Structures are given as structure tokens and as C-alpha cells.
Amino acid sequence: MQADVLVIGSGAAGLTAALLLADSRKVTVLSKVDTKSGSTPWAQGGIAAVSHERDTPEDHVSDTLTAGAGLCHEDVVRHTVMQGTWAIGQLIDWGVQFDLRDRDRDVRAGGEYHLTREGGHSTRRIFHVADSTGAAIASTLMQRAHQHPNIEVLENRVAIDLIVNKADNACVGVYVLNRASGLVEALQASAVILASGGASKVYLYTSNPDTATGDGIAMAWRAGCSVANMEFNQFHPTCLFHPHAKSLLISEAMRGEGGTLRLPSGEAFMERFHDAADLAPRDVVARAIDHEMKRLGIDCVYLDVTHFSRKLLQTRFPNIAARCATFGIDIAHDSIPVVPAAHYSCGGVRTDLHGQTDIDSLYAIGETAATGLHGANRLASNSLLECMVFARAAAEHILASTSQGAKMPEVPAWDESRVIDADEKIVVSHNWDELRRFMWDYVGIVRTTPRLTRALHRIELLRREIHEFYSSYRVDADLIELRNLVEVADLIVRSALRRKESRGLHYTLSFPETCKTAEDTLLTPGA
């Protein structure tokens, strides 16, 4: 199958790129399961952009640089922040209806958008749709994509490996497992965009959907791309702690509106860790919660929003209120039990300002990429902004450097002549569970060199076992994801061992101080 542009991933980044390309290119979008399965629909907070006279681009830049702990690339930060107005305007033009300050007034009649504030931001600048901004953006973009004659969306396709023409170091397609048929397809394109999200499923506890297995990062690494800053894994401070709640994020906007983190005794504790208390950056809050849980031997802490009016809870946080209610928690009267969970990969495939990787015609955008925006810790609600800005950059570069209907080189068919059907899959499920458990125990919020070394040894054993299994049996989705997860785990641990300091999201008891000079951790295949 052929397309002018192939987009791997159907979240905000991938769909934005597809829509910006489709007026003059034929675009195929691959969705791993269905189009509702990615991370974008799970985003609660919103999208950060400067929009009122009490805020300035310099303030947004400063907040981003501060959160990034000295590792952000300032030129990338400025480039991204300055396109905030375009990003919001484009989403509004496409049909996203952000919340208004006065719900009874139309913005066209002079109504103003309601802005919220999140940790690390010095003012309110977050555009949102109640507490389901990601879902609103995802559904709007997907509806437009389905309506566009030049966009084909293929669901239940799991990317396996990129196809690279070694003669000119150019990506010409990808091998993909069709879940429905069980067959592997070769998809060709003049340009390929990796927009497959992050890798937080490498950890036992995560706010992410099951699809966040680092596929784009692993495929790019195997193809020959450099990766940067893989040690910086953001743990969201507040996920619901309940035996039957899977990956329920409790939005940071709740603390932005005045929620307070408390110990079981009722004591508010964040003032002991940061001047901004509950509005400190995510890395600080996650470490503080982790510290208190270990100090007191408790299973969780509590987010108190019982002083909010029921009207505020129902209009501002209807999804969270409803989901908590299903677990018997009335957030108007009960504090919410919360724990940190793996949330966002700040590192990824190294790109330039066009989203280009080390391989020609291969682009990486969104959480798959390491653009230099997030540094050592992502500022809340900058991720959707990054998706929009770099989708636009990649689309413009592709339009300028490729032609519609260009002739494509022949690609080899997928060869499974020497493999057989797996006789038992317990090996895959056991290794999946083992990997995620020791990554949580050894490579989590607080690290040490002995723990990292122990994790690296376990990864090597798993890599050999998984490689043997992959080489002997026909692929399925679980095996593909496990192969990618162990690749990403290896990159995370090796990057963490190289950083001989504590900075941002990487906190190690072996090197508790921060170096005066901030440098990226860059890994290159074969180096």
C-alpha cells in the first residue's frame, strides 16, 4: 500500500499533521487499536498559550525554562511559545469549543475564554474543555480527518519496523501487523511521521493507556536514529489510588483551582518542600509525595477539594467527579486518595525544529520526539501545544521537500518463512510483567546507581530471551510491544547511568547535587 505521507499514530500530533498536509498530499494514518485508544483523549488539563494582557510570551518562556531545570533549548521554547496563538486559533477554527468564562455568552458576542492555572505556571493560561480537553480535541480532529477525501485512517495496525533505503539513508515505509488478518503489510510513503506517543507503559503504575509502549522511539532507534534525554520520565503526582481504578488521572488543574494535598492526619505538607506549595512543578510534587509515603509507610496521600462548591466541581471537573463516584468517592465531601504514576516521556527521538530525525524523510513529533522543549521536566499543558506546533513544522517541511505522487522504490516483502506459530505465550506475559515491575522498583522517582545497574542486568537477560522468541515465532501485538518496551527500558537505564547528577525528573541518591553545566544525554546507535 502506498501514500504520499504515512503518519504512525492517531493522536493530536499525528492528526494535526495529517490535516495540514491533506489539501495537497494523500495521507494514511495508522491507529494501533482504534482511534479512541491513544493518550490524547486521556489529557484532562488543557493547552497552554498566552492570551491576555496580564500574561506575556516572556512569562511563558520563563516558566517553561524554570520547570525544565536548565536543560530546555531556549530557541525551541521561544519558537513553540510564540505559536500558541496560532495553535489555539487553529483548534477553534477546526471546531474545538473551549470553555468560556461565562457559559451563557458566545465568544463571538464578546465572551472570554475561561483559563485555568496548573503547577509551574505563574498565571492562568490554560485553555480547556472542562476536564476532558484531550477527548474534545481528539474527537474534533478525528471527525475532520474522516471527512477529508485525502486522509485514510487504518485502525488495528501495529507498526513493527521502519523500512530504510540504506543507499540514501531515507525512510520509505514501515512494516505493519494487521490485527484483523494477522498478516504483516508493507506500507510505502515518500515521508513517514512518527507520532505514536510515549513509553510510560514501561512502568507498573501509569496514567497512560495500554498503547503507550514506546513503539516510535524503539523503531527509530533500531533504524539508526539518535535519542536524547530518555532518563527524564515524568511521574504525575496525582493518580487515583483505588484497587479497581486503572490509570485514572486526577488533573493538576484541581490544585490550580485551590486543591490541597494532605497526609492521612489532615496535615497539608507541600509547603515544607517548595515555596509554591501545591502549585510546585510536577517533579517536586511527585518526589514530595513519594518521600512522605516512604517516611510514614502509607499507601497514598489525599487531595482535598471539599471546600469547592458542588457547582464548581460539576462544571469544571465533571468527568473526575463522575469517575470517582463510581468508586464510592464523593469528592464534594471526601478527600481523594492519590499516588504518583508514570505519565510522560520527556525524552525521545532527537529532532530539529522541523521535526526531522537523523534519517531523511523520517519525522518525529509529539511525545515520541525530543525537541528540546521540555528539558528535564515538562511544564504542565505544554504537551498539546508542542503537538500542534511541531505537526505544523513537519507538515510545512514535507510540503516543501517532497512532491505529490512521487515514485517510490521497491521494498522487500516481509519474510516469515523461517518462523512458526508460538506454542505458548506465557513467556511474553511473564516478561511483560517482570519488566514493568523492576522498572518501577529500580528506575522510578528516586534512583541509585546500584538499582540502575541491577535493572540493566535484568534488561539484558530479557532482551536475549525476547530476541530469541521474536526470531522463532510469528509476531503478534503483545510480542511487538514487549520488544519495544525492553528497547525503551534499556535506553532509559543507560541514559540514567550516564547522568552523574540529580536534575529535574532524574533524582538519584548516588549523585544528589546538580552540576553547574546542563548537558543533554545523547545516545547514538552503534556508538
Domain extents in the chain: 236-342, 426-516
Residue 246 above 90 pLDDT? no
Span 40-49, pLDDT tens digits: 766 677 999 9
pLDDT reported for residue 238: 92
Same CATH topology for 236-342 and 426-516: the answer is no
pLDDT reported for residue 110: 46
What pTM was estimated for this model as a whole? 0.90
Rg (CA), the chain: 22
- Considering the four listed CATH numbers 3.30.230.70, 3.40.220.10, 3.90.700.10, 3.40.50.150, the one that applies to the domain covering 236-342 is 3.90.700.10
Least confident among 34-43, 65-74, 75-84, 189-198: 34-43
- Residues 277-296, mean pLDDT to the nearest whole number: 90
Question: Of the segments 182-186, 224-228, 236-240, 310-314, which one has the largest average pLDDT value?
Answer: 224-228
CB 208 within 8 A of CB 198: yes
Residue 301 above 70 pLDDT? yes
pLDDT reported for residue 253: 86
- Residues 237-261, mean pLDDT to the nearest whole number: 88
Share of residues in the chain with pLDDT > 70 (%): 95
pLDDT reported for residue 35: 66
Write the CB contacts of 83 (distance below 8 Å, at least 6 apart in sequence).
Answer: 385, 388, 389, 392
Write the CB contacts of 86 (distance below 8 Å, at least 6 apart in sequence).
Answer: 388, 392
- Residues 320-345, mean pLDDT to the nearest whole number: 94
**C-alpha distances out from residue 412 to 162, 392, 415, Å:** 12, 32, 8
pLDDT reported for residue 119: 80
* Catalytic-residue membership of 474: no
The count of other CB atoms within 10 Å of the CB of residue 426 is: 8
pLDDT reported for residue 130: 86
Residue 400 above 80 pLDDT? yes
- For residue 415, what is its C-alpha cell? 519474510
Mean pLDDT of the chain: 91
- For residue 191, what is its C-alpha cell? 515521508
pLDDT reported for residue 276: 92
The count of other CB atoms within 10 Å of the CB of residue 465 is: 15
Write the CB contacts of 21 (distance below 8 Å, at least 6 apart in sequence).
Answer: 4, 5, 27, 395, 398, 399
Q: Do β-strands 2-8 and 184-194 pair in parallel, antiparallel, or remain unpaired?
A: parallel
pLDDT reported for residue 109: 47
Span 73-112, pLDDT tens digits: 999 999 999 999 999 999 999 999 998 887 555 554 445 8
Least confident among 151-160, 201-210, 239-248, 406-415: 406-415
Q: Catalytic: which of 255, 282, 316, 447?
A: 282
pLDDT reported for residue 258: 93
Task: Select the more confidently predicted residue: 74 or 257.
Answer: 74
- For residue 507, what is its C-alpha cell? 533524582
The one-letter amino acid code at 396 reads: E
Task: Note the CATH number of domain 426-516.
Answer: 1.20.58.100
pLDDT reported for residue 294: 87
Write the CB contacts of 352 (distance below 8 Å, at least 6 apart in sequence).
Answer: none
- For residue 13, what is its C-alpha cell? 500530533
CA 119, CA 511: separation in Å to the nearest integer?
Answer: 26
Least confident among 24-38, 210-224, 287-301: 24-38
Residue 207 banded pLDDT, cuts 50, 70, 90:
confident
- Residues 357-369, mean pLDDT to the nearest whole number: 97
Q: Where are the alpha helices (DSSP H) in 173-281?
A: 215-223, 253-256
Residue 409 banded pLDDT, cuts 50, 70, 90:
confident
Residue 399 above 70 pLDDT? yes
- Residues 392-411, mean pLDDT to the nearest whole number: 86
